[in-house]
Chain A
């Protein structure tokens, strides 16, 4: 597998592609499209920045003592949680942002990670369902 930077880049590219496709689809399906697209853009930017913040936290945490790392990672999680809370609050309050778009923008990152790291090898799943007698 690749280095941390390459993996991050891969995930970020994936998020941008998936959210562009979502934006394109919602442009035709959601009426009016602008609040939803603004929300999607807002959510995407925040989720990518949060991912970057998480990577910086983890890089630092691995160099600490295990108990120190636990406390550090948990407090940093609370900060990120607060940031996401603020973003969602603004999306709900502001009329020009659709909160569903923001939520979608934030959540797609998790699905992209699962897609890139879990569903990237068909053979693995074929082996799960392969009958043992066939060997």
Chain B
């Protein structure tokens, strides 16, 4: 009887390809997935800039303070975007998975998984941008409390960054010290 299970047929079709080609194709998908994280800082910085403009329109005297806080907050919010870019570029130009031994499908799935894990970078990007935006807004409203607002904002941003760093650690483990290959 002909195998009508679509997934099995798809996997069998995949296995007709060369091992190296499969891993490279999966790396291309992984790199694409990793770059999705670039959305996060974009949205976050946009939000921060919007709030900065709002704060300055409410209280033009606080323009310098608001700009400075937005600048520092936005600079920190960029981090997860850069990390995802690093992972995507490593996958494209210095791919360690191509020469990895073990079942092709595990290595291939690891490449896609490493890319998928970097999508987590959207979270810190948006969250840190949101913190920067709110910090800027509040400095516009209450410039006297600037130092307390800034410190709290950065504390929140530093905590928000942790998930992005976890995601990068998982991506790096999947690429450079893959524990799954040894389990077969």
Contact = CB atoms under 8 A, between A and B. Distances in A.
B57 interface: yes
Given A92-B90, A93-B93, A113-B72, A1 B85 contact: no
Among all A-B residue pairs, the 7 with the closest Cβ atoms = A73-B49, A69-B53, A74-B46, A118-B154, A70-B46, A70-B50, A61-B49
A71 interface: yes
B38 interface: yes
A78 interface: yes
Contacts of A73: 45-46, 48-50, 74
A24 B134 CA distance: 39
Interface of A is mostly: helix
A81 interface: yes
Contact of B53 (A63, A118, A121, A124): A63
Interface of B: 38, 41-43, 45-57, 63-68, 70-72, 74-76, 78-79, 81-82, 85-86, 89-90, 93-94, 146-147, 150-151, 154-155, 157-158
Contacts of A11: 72
Given A62-B63, A77-B42, A99-B94, 8 more contacts: A4-B68, A77-B46, A77-B78, A85-B85, A88-B86, A99-B86, A106-B82, A114-B154
Nearest to B147: A1
A62 B85 contact: no
Interface of B is mostly: helix
B151 A121 contact: yes
Contacts of A71: 46
Interface of A: 1, 3-4, 7-8, 11, 51, 54-55, 57-59, 61-74, 77-78, 80-81, 84-85, 88-89, 92-93, 99, 103, 106-107, 109-110, 113-114, 117-118, 121, 124
Given A1-B65, A73-B45, A77-B45, A109 B75 contact: yes
A24 B108 CA distance: 39
Given A1-B146, A66-B54, A81-B81, A58 B89 contact: no
Nearest to A71: B46
A118 B158 contact: yes
A89 B49 contact: no
16 contacts: A11-B72, A58-B74, A62-B56, A69-B50, A77-B45, A81-B38, A84-B82, A88-B89, A99-B94, A106-B82, A107-B79, A113-B75, A114-B154, A117-B72, A121-B147, A124-B151
Contacts of B48: 73
A84 B89 CA distance: 11
Contacts of B94: 92, 99
B41 A77 contact: yes
Contact of A92 (B56, B57, B78, B89): B89
Contacts of A55: 67, 71
Interface centre among A68, A69, A72, A93 (most CB of B within 10 A): A69
Contacts of A8: 71
Nearest to B41: A77
